[in-house]
Structure 1
Amino acid sequence: MTTRQPAPADLRRWRRHLADERANIQVFRDVAARRQGEERDILLSLARAEERHAGHWIELLGDQADPPPRANLSHRVQAWLARRFGMVFVLALLQRSKSDNQYAQEQDAATSMAADEQVHEEVLRGLAARGRLQLSGNFRAAVFGANDGLVSNLALIMGMAGTGVSGAVVLAAGMAGLLAGALSMGAGEYISVRSARELLSASQPATGTHRALGELDLQTNELELVYRARGMDRDHARARAADVLGQVARAGHAPEDAVPAAATDADDQDAVLNPWGAALASFGFFASGALIPVLPYLLGASGLVAAGIAMLLVGLALMVTGAVVGVLSGASPLARGLRQLLIGYGAAIATYLLGLAFGAAGIG
């Protein structure tokens, strides 16, 4: 803690830190109010830690702590999101803000405060990871579908526009691309998720296995092999087999969890999805994305004007979807948005140049 006379710049910086801490306290409380159980307790504990930090700046500021400083725009947005939307968006934003660790180079902060911020980032990372797993199924299909629709149909329209055909032909191609792509995405997502569920089902124990346990040769004890095949080491498998067979001998039947399912990849989230839900999400979001580059032609524009408007609309949409993915992944929303934009525009420019080549050759 500083012992020198604070300069006006110091006071402004301390008030900014105090505003940030108070904003974080409010966000944590707002999110906690929408949760229950362990998650709620963790969030309220984080709020109490931020209260300690706020107290540090209030002590330094003294009378200068009033009137209460106003939070910056970023924190006000977080507070608004916390009151209205799911916590995964807010926690991802908070995780990213904590990664900057504003106290790492702050000479007037207590030494423990920088360490607190580092630990808070990991706590938020863990909480946000739970929400990301819940979103990673249909949400992933939706985001991929929208991005595919934006990029593929923009590329198709720009390629057709490059050939010099009429706006009506470009519109027909765009609508055909929308329908064909949406049907393909929906069918592909359905098959993918349905196949994943069938593969998981194949790893479940057969219904007759539980009944067979009562007739096992207790000296041979094949049940130990079952557990070893499912990932247990020899000692644990032997102990578990002895325990289960002891229950069989006493009760005449095996416990429900006697034969576990084979170990599967914990990241294989598609296995628990509804294939129809994933298919409909993929179809709908591909169609919504693919509709955007078609809009100028639907509204009567044509030629370079329509192509330019389509590029602009798709560019804005790609920035938004990229930013959303960036927020959820804890990365820079701007960087992810620009990446999506460059990929989409790269594909559109390539097909436009190809269309020009075909048009110049008299094929268009």
Structure 2
Amino acid sequence: MTERERTRTKADIRRWRRYLAAERAEAAVYRDLASRREGQDRDILLALAEAEGRHEQHWVDLLGDDIGAPLRTDLRTRLLGWLARSFGSVFVLALAQRAEARSPYEKDADATDAMAADERIHGEVVRGLAIRGRLRISGTFRAAVFGANDGLVSNLALVLGVGATGVPPATVLFTGIAGLLAGALSMGAGEYVSVRSQLELIDAAKPDPTARAVLPNLDVDANELALVYRARGMDPDAAEAHASDVLATLHLEADPAATDASEDVDTIGTAWGAAISSFFFFASGAVIPVLPYLFGATGLTAVVVASVLVGLALLATGTVVGLLSGASPLKRALRQLAIGFGAAAATYLLGLAFGTTIG
């Protein structure tokens, strides 16, 4: 028995048992996620579960006869497990990435250096898996989040600003509805034009596939094919060498510079997808500030109810952004709330000023 084992304290045993419960829960999360994946992703997740099993065994050996009954792990890890079993989505991977990054093993003398290193690398592995999901939804997700956030903030600011001037509640209601429709149509049209233009730029940057047919007719001595590769970013010597190889085999290879210059279209999404997503998410956000007026609320009551509803929605969108970006959900949620309420407060004060002046 080592000196550490002879001097173990009740606090040590409690901490080790918490670590053991966490390792078992995290391994279960990875196995649940693996059961919903195929191919390489499944193999990677199972390998992560196996690594967590090695960490689990470390704490089992250290605890010995003090292992006791299995503990329930913390609420965060239990939530992670429930999400993995229920959805198996990119949100779970984003949460798992943050969990691995917060591992306490680097500062715990009872954890080995290898375990601390494993946790750090696990975070990068999960980050890589999460990136694939983030890229798949990035185009539509960007339009959806921006649309909902813009709808919440702009229509709350519009409703509060107009309401503060002292106009009748019906005027505020119809102003909010007009703002909803105008903003949703504008967002949808803007996203369509933006994404469509981006896709056209990417398409224009792709090599012309018909150029390969003329390769046999090129003057080998002049070797103008090298100009193509220089235009794509290669230095002159590398361009000459690559062009010579291509002409020797009469095969136009894919150039790394050309690949890097054009984004994967799948990460952008479709123009119609972005437009429709923006329209409906803007509308879903913009309708929230109008709800109190739709149900007959007026004056300060309508202002307070609208602000509370929008505040909760801003916290929700900020949390989602934080989770998917791997950042702190709380910080992102509070940032969204501060920006939204700041804009609304400014227009409300302007409305009060105009209302006083007009009155």
Mapping for residues 73-92 of structure 1, pairs under 5 Å: 73-92=75-94
Question: C-alpha offsets along residues 14-50 of structure 1, whole Å, 9 cap, x if unaligned?
Answer: 1111111011000111111122222222211111111
2:138 equivalent in structure 1:
136
Q: Distance in 1 between matches of 2:209 and 2:42?
A: 40
- Which residue identity is paired with 2:142? R
Aligned equivalent of 1:278, options 271, 274, 284: 274
For the Cα contact (< 8 Å) 2:246–2:253, is it kept in 1?
no
Aligned equivalent of 2:357, options 328, 349, 361: 361
For the Cα contact (< 8 Å) 1:203–1:261, is it kept in 2?
no
Offset at residue 320 of structure 1 (A): 0.6
1:57 equivalent in structure 2:
59
Larger mean Cα displacement after TM superposition, 267-276 or 20-29? 267-276
- Which residue identity is paired with 2:230? R
- Which residue identity is paired with 1:301? A
- In the comparison of the two structures, how many residue pairs are matched? 357
Mapping for residues 210-229 of structure 1, pairs under 5 Å: 210-229=212-231
1:298 equivalent in structure 2:
294
Q: Which runs of 5+ in 2 are unaligned?
A: none
Change in Cα spacing, 1:108 to 1:211, as seen in structure 2 (3 Å) is closer
Q: Distance in 2 between matches of 1:48 and 1:271?
A: 32
SS of the residue aligned with 1:163?
coil
Q: Distance in 2 between matches of 1:310 and 1:21?
A: 44
Q: Distance in 2 between matches of 1:352 and 1:270?
A: 41
Aligned equivalent of 2:70, options 68, 71, 74: 68
Q: Distance in 1 between matches of 2:256 and 2:110?
A: 56
For the Cα contact (< 8 Å) 2:100–2:120, is it kept in 1?
yes
Q: Distance in 2 between matches of 1:148 and 1:268?
A: 27
Q: Distance in 2 between matches of 1:351 and 1:204?
A: 46
Q: Distance in 1 between matches of 2:261 and 2:300?
A: 50
Aligned equivalent of 1:340, options 331, 336, 340: 336
Percent identity among equivalent residues? 61
Q: Distance in 2 between matches of 1:100 and 1:260?
A: 37
Aligned equivalent of 2:17, options 15, 18, 22: 15
Change in Cα spacing, 1:349 to 1:258, as seen in structure 2 (3 Å) is closer
Q: Distance in 1 between matches of 2:88 and 2:179?
A: 34
2:95 equivalent in structure 1:
93
Q: Distance in 2 between matches of 1:298 and 1:264?
A: 51
> TM-score by structure 2 length?
0.93
Q: Aligned-pair RMSD on alpha carbons?
A: 2.1
Q: Distance in 1 between matches of 2:258 and 2:109?
A: 54
Offset at residue 263 of structure 1 (A): 4.9
Q: Distance in 2 between matches of 1:327 and 1:261?
A: 33
2:311 equivalent in structure 1:
315
For the Cα contact (< 8 Å) 1:205–1:261, is it kept in 2?
no
2:5 equivalent in structure 1:
3
SS of the residue aligned with 1:69?
coil
For the Cα contact (< 8 Å) 1:179–1:287, is it kept in 2?
yes
Question: C-alpha offsets along residues 114-162 of structure 1, whole Å, 9 cap, x if unaligned?
Answer: 1221222222222222222222111111011000000000000110111
Q: Which runs of 5+ in 1 are unaligned?
A: 249-254
Mapping for residues 259-270 of structure 1, pairs under 5 Å: 262-265=258-261
SS of the residue aligned with 1:55?
helix
For the Cα contact (< 8 Å) 2:290–2:306, is it kept in 1?
yes
Change in Cα spacing, 1:99 to 1:261, as seen in structure 2 (3 Å) is closer
Question: C-alpha offsets along residues 39-83 of structure 1, whole Å, 9 cap, x if unaligned?
Answer: 222211111111111111111222332321112111111111112
Q: Distance in 2 between matches of 1:108 and 1:80?
A: 29
